[in-house]
Amino acid sequence: MPKKQEGKKLNKKRTGKKMKSAKFYIITILMFASQAILAQIEFKTSVSRTSLGLNQRFRIEFSVDKQGADNFKPPSFADFKVAGGPSSSVSQSWINGKASYSQTYIYILEPKNEGEFIIEPATIEYDNEIVKSNTVKLTVSKSIEISKDPNNPEYIAQQNIHLVAEVSNLNPYVGEGIYVVYKLYVSQNISVNDWRVSESPQYNGFWNQDIEVTDINVQNGKYNGEDYRFLVLKRAVLIPQRAGELIVEPMKMDFSVGIPTGRGDFFGNMITRNISYATESAIRNVRVKALPEVGKPIDFSGAVGEFEFSVLADKNVLKANDAAQIKVEVKGSGNLKLFEIPKIITPVELEAYTPEHKEDVTTSLSGLRGSISDTYTVVPQFKGKYKIPEATFSFFNPKDKKYHTILAKAVFVEVTDGKELVSTGNDSAGTLKKNVVSNGNNFRFIALETTLKPAIKKDFLFSTEFYLLLLLPFLAIPIGILIGKKRAKRAGDIFGNKIRNANRLARKYLSEAKKQLGKKEAFYIALEKALHNFLKAKLQIETSEISKEKISELLQEKGVDNSTIKQFITVLNDCDFARYTPTTDVMMKNEYDKTVKILTEIDKQL
């Protein structure tokens, strides 16, 4: 074979080998590239709308297309209210040999303010790396009117759901009790699957107390002349504290609403579409009238309502050093917790103790009803008949728009056995005036002669004092070791130290409460801390984290009697309510004395 032909064959072989090698490299590169493309993860943020009104909501979704991604963390929604979510959905399919996967995290948001906002990326972890989604820009304009489109679910919900605040009296007097009832009206055409209160109403300028709604029952009624179903969601008693225009702010709620689509399923049942919807009650303006100045009694202390007043003694005849109880009581209906009971004046010959204050008041839609009283314990020291002067109580009745004053008759206490009270003339203190008699011993001259003797000098060395001081260091060493061991043991007693620390804090806060008399907020905070630290020391638990019912149960188990427990819980309740109600220095002093008495009694029983 000629050399030229052999050369051509060799070139062809070499060229074929090169092409095969190139193909191999290309295929390898494509395989790696395809694997790199397949390994990429897509994590994106999308919203249902980028421009909306302040009263509108939008849906935001965070979607990831790879299985195995976890530790999802949403961005901050500080400029928005979360009206729904988080919820998640997973979608997985296999079409023509190609697999697809998607997991979505969903929120329903509502803007708080107008303006332009940027929602920062969410993060998720995949293959030990943190992956971020894209940012989203939103524009929020003023509230817009929902279009009156009968096919718009929001418009349908707006027309068929109404949250109403019904106020019993929009023009009361200061101190006159009124009530507010929140009702949810729902038409027969739609269904409410779930609801929650997103913002409770505020009652600035009112003393208020909620009335528990125990049974939420569906009732039938009328709204704007049409048939509706309604629920009573909340009730509260309000007592205005100042004159002028006060506002009952709205209650805001979120709902999951089933809107009929107009289509039926195979069985003829109506198909509904669930949407998230929010609404609120209207603002109610209450114009409060000031109490009239004409005819206002001097002793008027703010009582508004219909009341009875009495001053009674449990004993009118007793012996010296026996105790009698004088009860000053106001009962009826009105602002019972918001005024002072008149004080009685006792003669100096009767030793009177700080009165015990009691309240037996129930709250209903008709207001506060019951009684409040101060019970004085008096102990006479001398034989005789004593008069406790008349007492008056004044109140304003909003029904007849007049002031009324009740005079309680004087109470007489007769002491039949005891020491005679010696008195001359009009000396009510029972002391006798005596003339000063002068005699020779009234004044003495300074003595000029003395009987002083020189001091005897005594050596300290080798004296008894010398040896005592010499031995003192040797005695101090074992005493110091014993004290050190005792301190170390006490320091290691963690449980005991907690109890001792709680005891110390209880005494500290009780002392602090006494110092803060006259400063309402600081006084009741210190008093409440004293109560809880006392219980922490006695019951060995954090009582600030448990209910009052549980506290009562634990004290009963420790052997404390029911009346003492009831008084203790009353003091705890007073600390809660008194910060938000008018309080006088006298009431705070009474509260402090009652607390000391109750703590002493519980400590004695334990």
pLDDT tens-digit readout, 272-320: 777 778 888 988 999 999 999 999 999 899 999 999 999 999 888 888 7
d(CA 183, CA 234): 7
Least confident span in 247-251, 302-306, 379-383, 490-494: 490-494
d(CA 133, CA 5): 65
Helix (H, G, I), strand (E, B) or coil at 243: coil
Least confident span in 136-140, 272-276, 328-332, 344-348: 272-276
Q: How many CB atoms lie within 10 A of CB 308?
A: 11
DSSP state of 524: H
User: What's the angle, vertex CA 460, arms to CA 455 and CA 462, rounded to 5?
Assistant: 135
**Residue 470, pLDDT above cutoff 90:** no
**Residue 454, pLDDT above cutoff 70:** no
For residue 579, what pLDDT band results from cuts at 50, 70 and 90? Answer: low
Least confident span in 141-155, 237-251, 470-484: 141-155
Share of the chain above pLDDT 90, in %: 19
Cα 182 → chain centroid: 22
- What value does the mean pLDDT of the chain take? 78
Burial of 463 (0-12, 13-18, 19+ CB in 10 A): exposed
Report the candidate in 238, 408, 203 with the shortest Cα–Cα distance to residue 335: 238
DSSP state of 417: S
- Scanning the structure block, which residue is given the tokens 């009177």? 352
For residue 337, what pLDDT band results from cuts at 50, 70 and 90? Answer: confident
**Residue 368, pLDDT above cutoff 60:** yes
Residue 291, pLDDT score: 93
d(CA 85, CA 105): 9
**Residue 72, pLDDT above cutoff 60:** yes
* Helix 562-578 / helix 585-605 crossing angle, nearest 10 deg: 150
H or E element that contains 4: helix 3-39
Burial of 25 (0-12, 13-18, 19+ CB in 10 A): exposed
Cα 217 → chain centroid: 28
Highest mean pLDDT pick, 87-91, 195-199, 201-205, 286-290:
286-290
Size (the chain), residues: 606
User: What's the angle, vertex CA 546, arms to CA 545 and CA 547, rounded to 5?
Assistant: 135
**Residue 457, pLDDT above cutoff 80:** no
Q: Which residue has the higher pLDDT, 389 or 467?
A: 389
What average pLDDT score do residues 87-93 get?
77
Strands (DSSP E) found in 365-471: 367-380, 382-388, 391-397, 402-408, 411-415, 419-420
Helix (H, G, I), strand (E, B) or coil at 382: strand
Contact of 132 with 121, CB cutoff 8 Å = yes
Report the candidate in 212, 278, 206, 290 with the shortest Cα–Cα distance to residue 249: 206
Bridge-based pairing of strands 411-415 and 317-318 is parallel
Highest mean pLDDT pick, 205-214, 534-543, 572-581:
205-214
Which phi-psi region, left, alpha or beta, contains residue 96 (left: φ > 0; alpha: ψ -120 to 50)? left
Report the candidate in 602, 606, 530, 526 with the shortest Cα–Cα distance to residue 566: 602
Number of separate helices (H) and strands (E) present in the chain: 8, 31
Single pTM value for the model: 0.52
Report the candidate in 116, 122, 120 with the shortest Cα–Cα distance to residue 135: 120
Residue 442, pLDDT score: 44
Helix (H, G, I), strand (E, B) or coil at 217: coil
Give me 277's structure tokens.
Answer: 């919807």
Phi and psi at residue 325, to the nearest 5°? -115, 130
Helix (H, G, I), strand (E, B) or coil at 309: strand
Sorted by sequence, the CB contacts under 8 Å of residue 301 that are 6+ apart come out as 339, 340, 342, 394
pLDDT tens figures, 411-421: 888 888 767 76
d(CA 371, CA 336): 7
Contact of 199 with 234, CB cutoff 8 Å = no
| C-alpha gyration radius of the chain | 42
Q: Give the burial string for 446-456 (b: 16+ CB within 10 Å, else e).
A: eeeeeeeeeee
Whether the bond between 86 and the residue before it is cis, its omega within 30 degrees of 0, is yes
Bridge-based pairing of strands 411-415 and 58-64 is unpaired
What domains are defined for the chain?
A: 43-141 (2.60.40.740), 153-288 (2.60.40), 305-420 (2.60.40.740), 494-605 (1.20.120.330)
Contact of 134 with 45, CB cutoff 8 Å = yes
d(CA 258, CA 157): 9
Helix (H, G, I), strand (E, B) or coil at 158: helix
Least confident span in 135-144, 160-169, 422-431: 422-431
Burial of 54 (0-12, 13-18, 19+ CB in 10 A): middle
Contact of 382 with 463, CB cutoff 8 Å = no
